[in-house]
Structure 1
Amino acid sequence: MAEIQLKNVSKRWGAFVGVDNFNLTIADREFLVLLGPSGCGKTTTMRMIAGLEDATDGEIAIGDRVVNNLEPKDRDIAMVFQSYGLYPNMNVYDNIRFPLKVRKVDPSTHDERVMRAADMVELREFLHRKPAELSGGQRQRVALARAIVREPNVFLMDEPLSNLDAKLRVSTRAQIKNLQHELQVTTIYVTHDQIEAMTLADRVVVMQRGIIQQVGTPTDIYDKPANTFVAGFIGSPAMNLMNGTLKGGTFTGEHVEIAGLSGPDGPVTLGFRAEDAAVAQSSAEAEINAPVYTMELLGDATMITVKAGGALVSVKASKDYRIEIDETVGLHIPPEICHLFHHETGARLDA
């Protein structure tokens, strides 16, 4: 059992707060992603779980053991870093085997365990090669195999795909997802890439400035962001956010008027996703009428962006839709796709 509990965990360096009162229970065998921009505290949180950083306050438990005072080697975890950390003088086989030698695992089991780990990441034919003879994707798979061979209670992965190109990121991401399903090991994964978070996670923890902003399934966070930070961070493109005034259920702002909303009168921030809105069939159907700022061809769709209410607002149109920059376009924003947030705090207003 590798349930992980963090209770009131904080990390401070003098006056600087890296992680602030972090509370979370990570279920046994869960794939949890810590997501946020650089400097939000996600890697620090992982390093405290690993024992590479000491928590200033709070308690960290793995299974039924409080591990605050345990050395990293005694926490039964395996880490995969952004840098592969391979030994250049060893071939792939010996790199994968190395944790077994260090931990004095019965040598008679080494070969079977190394071959099983190598097969899981499709490296058997590369076992004789040195790291310098491998591509970036292959080196990352060696690092994964070296973690797998340990058979730990917990995997910790710190931005393991950051150094790979776009195509390799997609294929390696799929491999990590499949591995976690096959191994059934509690996994904590750190990333600033919201696509990685949405595709890999059972649950996502969105962080900003050391504080948890929202915890939920990818669907929860995408469909009901807790605040404007989460709304603006999750999604590709991120949620459109516009400032305006709500009065009697009608939101008004520059170039925009949307009726049929439910919320308190006064200044609010309204949000909606590009794929939920549409180019209006007529000006009478349009809630936004504004000049085109840019048009992007995405292959499966055309992204239309206008400038309205001081914000850039994007809507996805059909892949064959065409319009010129500066030409006025009408956008249809049904009230049921809209999200309302507090104008000052950014907190979600609608249920």
Structure 2
Amino acid sequence: MAQIRLVNVCKRWGSYVGVDNFSLEIADAEFLVLLGPSGCGKTTTMRMIAGLEESTSGEIWIGDRMVNGMEPKDRDISMVFQSYGLYPNLTVYENIRFPLRVRNVPKAEHDARVMRAAEMVELGPLLDRRPAALSGGQRQRVALARAIVREPNAFLMDEPLSNLDAKLRVSTRAQIKNLHHTLKTTTIYVTHDQIEAMTLADRVVVMNKGQVQQVGTPTEIYDRPANTFVASFIGSPAMNLIPGHIAGGVFGADGMQVANLAAANGPVTLGFRAEDAQVVSDGGNIQAPVYAMELLGDATLVSVRIAGALVAVRAPKDFRIDIGAPLQISVPLSVVHLFDASTGARIAL
């Protein structure tokens, strides 16, 4: 097991900055998720930790060793990739066993370690099959078992669920969560899927354009986003963000007013989540015609347009209304977030 530290780590290709001044301490046995859109630097950060990419500057520590310049094989980490990377000519058993052979682990230990790893991911009945005879979910479990059998200091997982369908993603996600609880091995997990981040992580690092936007628990990031990027990236649907002005403690935008805000006069962006507001028959602080209605099964998502922004609210699952019909939405003061109109940074209320 190992603590992992990154100190002012940068990666540049000429004038292009892939990762900019990244510093973070990852605790022993922590499950940390690097989250962000494509091109934000999350995979590059993981590849630098693994030794597959050389950092331009900064220090990377695994345990008490600075590993800059150290070969990947000497860093005592296991990786699980988006592509399964299985050997098609080998059985499931031999694919799982392969890291033990490469690292010259005594043969007497192989069978017990392979069987233990296979049991953890429920592959016992499939050990004699070859990858071509497996489903996508089963292949991903083989890749997980191959990483487990190493018994490394840390796991690095790069979008391991991206090739699976929605149902398999849910079940494999639960398996990864249970594995981490059982193994208690430091894990760094890269994803663009905020649901994976929220359900798996002890802490989430939200990245954009090579820079860290916010680090915190899933609850902290969801409840108190540091800026409009985090607010718009976390949540399904994303937080409603409405441009407007504050004058005398009242936020105003076309079709919306919120009073009693303790904030300075001027342009701001107001945010609230769809589940924190409600449709009302009278006295709402949003009044606008219905733009769209979506049935979600457990709720109905109703959207309106306010100041050019699409704003969604969750209504009861049996709620029905025609597109174009007038709608009133109540947004309590207690659920409102304010962000600086120019920088996007959170404004304390």
TM range (shorter): over 0.9
Verify the 8 A CA contact 1:262 1:350 in the aligned structure 2: no
Q: Partner letter of residue 347 of structure 1?
A: A
* 1:164 match: 164
- Provide the C-alpha distance between the structure 2 equivalents of 1:314 and 1:260, rounded to a whole number of angstroms: 23
What is the SS of the residue equivalent to 2:236? coil
* 1:311 match: 309
- Provide the C-alpha distance between the structure 2 equivalents of 1:281 and 1:289, rounded to a whole number of angstroms: 11
* 1:104 match: 104
* 1:141 match: 141
1:1-351 paired onto structure 2 within 5 Å? 1-282=1-282, 285-351=283-349
Verify the 8 A CA contact 1:77 1:155 in the aligned structure 2: yes
Q: Partner letter of residue 148 of structure 1?
A: I
Q: Deviations over 1:13-57 (max 9, x none)?
A: 000000000000000000000000000000000000000000000
Q: Deviations over 1:252-286 (max 9, x none)?
A: 0011011122211100000000000000131xx21
TM-score of the superposed pair, with normalisation by structure 2: 0.99
What is the SS of the residue equivalent to 1:139? helix
What is the SS of the residue equivalent to 2:39? coil
Which stretch has the larger CA shift, 92-101 or 246-255?
Answer: 246-255
What is the SS of the residue equivalent to 1:329? strand
- Provide the C-alpha distance between the structure 1 equivalents of 2:260 and 2:5, rounded to a whole number of angstroms: 44
What is the SS of the residue equivalent to 1:145? helix
- Provide the C-alpha distance between the structure 2 equivalents of 1:348 and 1:281, rounded to a whole number of angstroms: 32
- Provide the C-alpha distance between the structure 2 equivalents of 1:39 and 1:261, rounded to a whole number of angstroms: 37
The count of residues paired between Structure 1 and Structure 2 equals 349
Q: What do you get for the CA RMSD once the two structures are aligned?
A: 0.6
What is the SS of the residue equivalent to 1:104? coil
What is the SS of the residue equivalent to 1:275? helix
Verify the 8 A CA contact 1:204 1:216 in the aligned structure 2: yes
- Provide the C-alpha distance between the structure 2 equivalents of 1:86 and 1:320, rounded to a whole number of angstroms: 48
- Provide the C-alpha distance between the structure 2 equivalents of 1:110 and 1:252, rounded to a whole number of angstroms: 68
- Provide the C-alpha distance between the structure 1 equivalents of 2:141 and 2:326, rounded to a whole number of angstroms: 50
- Provide the C-alpha distance between the structure 2 equivalents of 1:334 and 1:109, rounded to a whole number of angstroms: 62
1:101 deviates by 0.1
Q: Deviations over 1:52-92 (max 9, x none)?
A: 00000000000000000210000000000000000000000
- Provide the C-alpha distance between the structure 1 equivalents of 2:18 and 2:284, rounded to a whole number of angstroms: 45
What is the SS of the residue equivalent to 2:276? coil
Q: Partner letter of residue 102 of structure 1?
A: V
Q: Partner letter of residue 89 of structure 1?
A: N
TM-score of the superposed pair, with normalisation by structure 1: 0.99
Moved over 4 A (4+): none
Verify the 8 A CA contact 1:197 1:218 in the aligned structure 2: yes
- Provide the C-alpha distance between the structure 1 equivalents of 2:247 and 2:51, rounded to a whole number of angstroms: 53
- Provide the C-alpha distance between the structure 1 equivalents of 2:116 and 2:138, rounded to a whole number of angstroms: 16
Q: Partner letter of residue 43 of structure 1?
A: T
- Provide the C-alpha distance between the structure 2 equivalents of 1:150 and 1:297, rounded to a whole number of angstroms: 46
Percent identity over paired residues: 71
- Provide the C-alpha distance between the structure 2 equivalents of 1:235 and 1:333, rounded to a whole number of angstroms: 18
Verify the 8 A CA contact 1:38 1:192 in the aligned structure 2: yes
- Provide the C-alpha distance between the structure 1 equivalents of 2:20 and 2:112, rounded to a whole number of angstroms: 44
- Provide the C-alpha distance between the structure 2 equivalents of 1:252 and 1:67, rounded to a whole number of angstroms: 54
What is the SS of the residue equivalent to 2:90? coil
- Provide the C-alpha distance between the structure 2 equivalents of 1:101 and 1:264, rounded to a whole number of angstroms: 66
What is the SS of the residue equivalent to 1:300? coil
- Provide the C-alpha distance between the structure 1 equivalents of 2:264 and 2:241, rounded to a whole number of angstroms: 18
Q: Deviations over 1:219-241 (max 9, x none)?
A: 00000000000000000000000
- Provide the C-alpha distance between the structure 2 equivalents of 1:83 and 1:336, rounded to a whole number of angstroms: 45
- Provide the C-alpha distance between the structure 2 equivalents of 1:120 and 1:315, rounded to a whole number of angstroms: 41
Unaligned runs of 5+ in 2: none
Q: Partner letter of residue 348 of structure 1?
A: R
1:247 deviates by 1.2
What is the SS of the residue equivalent to 2:187? strand
